[in-house]
Amino acid sequence: MRALVTGCAGFIGAHLCERLIREGWRVTGVDSLEPTYDTIGRRSRIAAIATTGNLEFIEGDLNRIDLRPLVVDADVVFHLAARPGVRASWDDFSQVADANVLATQRVLDALVGTQRTRLVFASSSSVYGQALSFPTSENQRIAPISPYGVTKAASESLIAAYVSQFDLDVTSLRYFTVYGPNQRSDMAFTRWIKAAFQNQPLTIFGDGSAERDFTYVEDVVAATIRAGEAAAGGHAVFNVAGGNPASLQTVFNLIETFTSRPVDFEFLPAAKGDPPRTGGDTTRIRQVLRWEPRWSLEDGMAAQVAWIRQALNLD
């Protein structure tokens, strides 16, 4: 099988490339590596994957490069490229829209007329906004409360339109709060674990009462590959969630346990666009794709703490 992975240098994208290569896929990865966010992390991830010798890497912007030859040559396009971050999306919506919506349309345009190429799109639980019920099913209304969530919802709508008019085969996966080793430096778990090791306060937006459906990155990758291997028959949408939402206090307790450091906190005003609670219903993906999460929060947190401990040379 041949895969095209956009956003291959990102947190999830790099894990996906490594797993695909291990499973014998031929992988082409595209990433802009522009100095916008986590540039050092993205370059180091690509360098690590390149050591396997099984990744064809193309540095370029999806809105500028010729995608058609790359798409035609692939069995599955895993479209993970995006400008991430709910809080950051308020700062420059035009850039977020370019990276998330316009780039998705270019991928869709390149797919039109292909007979065998399947698309897996990385969406987000942010499309739900402040959900009306928990666990939240894919049938619940989409009502994003952040510019980032708006771009993911708009991309899903674009996909639905293209599928209806051009008979494409697309699966959208709504990821819920992904964490694990090699996570971006700006993401909460990485920031908090590093702060604990360095005896600094953990910076919290809001009062710390939020609850999230944390999903370990290897589980997310497994669901993504499963979606790539299964025919959608139009536009299929699935939640990808850990299945056991936890409070931030639970996370803080685990950080104390696994770092063996007491933690203190610095509270900041609640961030716009962050819902107080998330929780994904995974009934559909369990039934259709036969996927279910395997990692507990405790095991996943232990793995991420071990990765950061090594990165900080604390062993």
Q: What is the pLDDT of residue 276?
A: 94
Residue 51's pLDDT band (cuts 50, 70, 90): confident
Cβ-contact 62, 30 below 8 angstroms: yes
* 116 pLDDT higher than 90: no
Backbone angles phi, psi at 140, to 5 degrees: -70, 150
Backbone angles phi, psi at 263, to 5 degrees: -115, 145
Whether the pTM exceeds 0.85: the reply is: yes
Q: Among 38-52, 186-200, 237-251, where is mean pLDDT lowest?
A: 38-52
Taking phi over 0 as left and psi of -120 to 50 as alpha, with beta for the rest, 299 belongs to alpha
58: burial class by Cβ within 10 Å (0-12, 13-18, 19+)? middle
Around 16, how many Cα atoms within 13 Å sit in the side-chain half-sphere? 31
Read off the pLDDT of residues 32-45 as tens digits, 9 standing for 90 and up: 987 776 777 888 89
Query: Six-digit token pair at 296?
Result: 């507990």
Q: What is the pLDDT of residue 146?
A: 97
Task: Provide mean pLDDT across the span 302-313.
Answer: 96
Q: Among the options 148, 162, 175, 179, which is catalytic?
A: 148
Q: What is the pLDDT of residue 34?
A: 77
Read off the pLDDT of residues 147-169 as tens digits, 9 standing for 90 and up: 999 999 999 999 999 999 999 99
Task: Provide mean pLDDT across the span 242-248.
Answer: 95
Domains of the chain listed by start with CATH number: 2-184+214-242+279-294 (3.40.50.720)
Backbone angles phi, psi at 280, to 5 degrees: -100, 135
> How does the average pLDDT of the chain come out, rounded?
94
128 labelled catalytic: no
- What is the Cα–Cα distance from 77 to 182, expressed in whole angstroms? 23
Helix (H) or strand (E) run with residue 16 in it: helix 11-22
